[in-house]
């Protein structure tokens, strides 16, 4: 099978939003009046972000999920995506499963695959997503103000727990592992939440490298500091309700685990009722984990309000461990 047959067979489907999809030199995407395009890319490299043994359907799903998570973090509505793919060989069975995983999630969000590039090389998947957000309503990292509450969505740390079990560094009962593995392989991008937070949240980011690292991006961009109630963060670890992990492990996983694809956001106290209502309507836990202050420092507090030493390392591809 050649390059064009491959694209035709696995990656060409009628477009819903695009004027022109796969097959020409460029795709054409209309943007509605009053809206801005939100654009983001994320690359997944074999050996770095996933193992060669991963189920290709889940890999396709996750490659799009991590990108949609970025659109969610800025409050954008997904419209389309581009797929740049390097493949060591044409393996039709693998491609069929991989593309199914992509379509599974693309269909949930009505997101069109409108083009890309395909080449031979070490397995590498780069997706660029395009979404719409009303002008001036995008959620940015730079809007947090002293006094704002800090929230996280969903559960934190379970994906990392699964990774540590895979690496043989942690052991947990099989059913706890299976749940955690779902969080690692099939993360849920918080697309509806991101859009619902327009005009509610003062700043937002998605949690891909670990809560503390991603929160730091908000603090830096906003020129503020924060106090974090660490037991509240640890309480979001889903595995915790089935299996008693040591507190230090709970904290390491939930504060700095990474691969969560949840949102961390800030909002003024006056929005507490709105946020509680959103949590119910979207059936998504939203946990208040602390408060923004003017100190420019990130302080971690224990249950008694004492400062916890912050030696939690978020994920950084260029740091050696
Ligand atoms: P060009 O020669 O202009 O780079 P290509 O031959 O690479 O174009 O691609 C032909 C068409 O197929 C283009 O519309 C391109 O966007 C699309 N395409 C290529 N690879 C992919 C892919 N992996 N997924 C979706 N569309 C693709
Ligand atoms: Mg090309």
Domains and CATH numbers, the chain: 3-134 (3.30.1330.10), 149-308 (3.90.650.10)
57: left (phi over 0), alpha (psi -120 to 50) or beta: alpha
> Is the pLDDT assigned to residue 52 strictly greater than 90?
no
- Tell which one of 67, 112, 115 to mutate to probe ligand 1, the residue whose CB is within 8 A of the most ligand atoms: 115
Residue nearest to atom 12 of ligand 1 (CA): 23
C-alpha–C-alpha distance, residues 144 and 187, integer Å: 26
Specify the ligand 1 atom closest to the Cα of 22. Answer: 14
C-alpha 36 – ligand 1 centre gap (Å): 25
- Indicate if ligand 1 lies below 6 Å from the C-beta of 85: yes
List pLDDT tens digits, range 69-108: 999 999 999 999 999 999 999 999 999 999 999 999 999 9
- Indicate if ligand 1 lies below 6 Å from the C-beta of 23: yes
- Tell which one of 116, 126, 129 to mutate to probe ligand 1, the residue whose CB is within 8 A of the most ligand atoms: 116
Specify the ligand 1 atom closest to the Cα of 24. Answer: 14
Tell me the average pLDDT of the chain. Answer: 94
Residue nearest to atom 9 of ligand 1 (CA): 117
C-alpha–C-alpha distance, residues 32 and 131, integer Å: 11
- Indicate if ligand 1 lies below 6 Å from the C-beta of 24: yes
- Indicate if ligand 1 lies below 6 Å from the C-beta of 118: yes
Angle between helices 247-256 and 158-166 (to 10 degrees): 110
List pLDDT tens digits, range 7-26: 999 999 988 888 999 999 99
Residue nearest to atom 8 of ligand 1 (CA): 25
Task: Tell me which ligand sits closest to the C-alpha of residue 22.
Answer: 1
Q: What is the DSSP string of 206-232?
A: EESS-HHHHHHHHHHHHT-EEEEEHHH
Pairing of strands 124-134, 35-45: antiparallel
pLDDT of residue 132: 98
> Is the pLDDT assigned to residue 59 strictly greater than 90?
yes
Locus of tokens 């996280």: 152
| Average pLDDT score over residue span 146-160 | 97
Task: Tell me which ligand sits closest to the C-alpha of residue 3.
Answer: 1
């Amino acid at each position: 099978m050649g390059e064009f047959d491959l694209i035709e067979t696995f990656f060409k489907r009628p477009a819903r939003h695009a004027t022109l999809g796969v097959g020409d030199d460029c795709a054409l995407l209309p943007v509605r009046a009053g809206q801005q395009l939100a654009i983001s890319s994320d690359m997944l490299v074999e050996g770095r972000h996933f193992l060669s043994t991963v189920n290709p359907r889940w890999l396709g799903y996750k490659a799009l999920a991590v990108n949609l998570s970025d659109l969610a973090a800025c409050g954008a509505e997904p419209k389309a995506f581009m797929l740049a793919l390097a493949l060591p060989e044409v393996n039709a069975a693998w491609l069929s499963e991989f593309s199914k995983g992509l379509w599974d999630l693309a269909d949930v969000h009505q997101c069109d695959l409108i083009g890309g590039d395909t080449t031979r090389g070490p397995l590498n998947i780069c997706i660029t997503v395009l979404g719409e957000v009303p002008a001036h309503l995008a959620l940015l990292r730079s809007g947090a103000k002293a006094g704002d509450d800090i929230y996280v969505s969903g559960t934190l740390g379970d994906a990392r727990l699964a990774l540590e079990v895979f690496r043989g560094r942690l052991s947990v009962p099989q059913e706890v592992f299976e749940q955690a593995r779902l969080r690692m392989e099939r993360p849920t991008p918080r697309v509806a939440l991101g859009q619902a937070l327009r005009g509610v949240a003062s700043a937002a980011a998605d949690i891909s490298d670990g809560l503390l690292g991603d929160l730091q991006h908000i603090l830096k961009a906003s020129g503020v500091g924060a106090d974090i109630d660490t037991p509240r963060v640890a309480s979001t670890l889903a595995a915790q309700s089935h299996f008693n992990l040591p507190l230090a492990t709970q904290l390491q996983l939930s504060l700095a685990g990474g691969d969560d694809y949840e949102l961390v956001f800030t909002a003024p106290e006056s929005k507490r009722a709105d946020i509680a209502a959103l949590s119910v309507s979207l059936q998504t836990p939203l946990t208040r984990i602390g408060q923004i202050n003017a100190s420019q420092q990130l302080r971690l507090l224990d249950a008694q309000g004492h400062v916890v030493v912050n030696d939690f390392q978020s994920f950084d591809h260029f740091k050696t461990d």
